[in-house]
A and B are shown apart, each in its own frame.
Chain A
Amino acid sequence: AQSVSQHNHHVILSEAASLELGCNYSYGGTVNLFWYVQYPGQHLQLLLKYFSGDPLVKGIKGFEAEFIKSKFSFNLRKPSVQWSDTAEYFCAVNSGYQLIWGAGTKLIIKP
């Protein structure tokens, strides 16, 4: 069965630190890739997406992600995090007719 793995369930960083959240998927065919974010008390929202083209995609709030097909990965990055980035981040992969979700990574930024 297709699966999505997010390696870190909890990440704690200080403000201004660099961030990289891992996401790996198991499907070998054509995929669409997504990162969603859920800020405390808010609804899930799309952070960025990759369908095709440049494997480095930029999203809102300074986030970016790189699709590496050979590694089945779509890691999320941000050069310098802020306290307001505290949230839960979900990676999702569309391999056909359904989105497959990772378990999520809770990110806590210490002021």
Chain B
Amino acid sequence: KAGVTQTPRYLIKTRGQQVTLSCSPISGHRSVSWYQQTPGQGLQFLFEYFSETQRNKGNFPGRFSGRQFSNSRSEMNVSTLELGDSALYLCASSRSAGGDTGELFFGEGSRLTVL
């Protein structure tokens, strides 16, 4: 079956712009989690959505937001981009709420570069 699909794979933005990233989970998976991965910080949890509801949120400013649609696809948005937002953004899906089983299936990520 198809894996987790993230688009776009690469993008370059300038400071102050905003960006929207998309994630299509594995068919049948209702939970989508978002992570920021940087060389210095490792994997940082952004938020998790389950059945269109935000279930958990990490310690990121309000510029980072997300949503989930009825088909379980999810988007995350970062407004007023800063240089420090340059990172690989990973989406992970799971059948149940991710924290319950911890078994996540990851996409290949969207690599954002902010200039």
Contact = CB atoms under 8 A, between A and B. Distances in A.
A49 B90 CA distance: 20
A19 interface: no
B35 to A, nearest CB: 8
A75 to B, nearest CB: 18
A67 interface: no
Please classify how large the interface on chain B is, using the bins under 10, 10 to 19, 20 to 34, 35 or more. 20 to 34
A90 B104 CA distance: 13
Interface of B: 3-4, 41-43, 45, 48, 55-56, 90, 92, 97-104, 106-109
B102 A104 contact: no
Interface residues of A, number: 20
A49 B104 CA distance: 11
B26 to A, nearest CB: 12
B102 to A, nearest CB: 4
A98 B99 contact: yes
A49 B100 CA distance: 13
A16 interface: no
A34 B102 contact: yes
Interface string A88-111: 001010101111011110000000
B42 to A, nearest CB: 4
15 contacts: A34-B102, A43-B90, A43-B108, A44-B90, A44-B92, A46-B103, A97-B100, A98-B45, A98-B56, A98-B99, A101-B42, A102-B42, A103-B41, A103-B42, A104-B43
A45 interface: yes
Given A43-B107, A94-B99, A94-B102, A101 B45 contact: yes
Nearest to B90: A44
A97 B55 contact: yes
A104 B42 contact: yes
A90 B102 contact: no
Contact of A96 (B3, B99, B103): B99
A91 B107 CA distance: 18
Given A32-B102, A45-B106, A46-B103, A97 B56 contact: yes
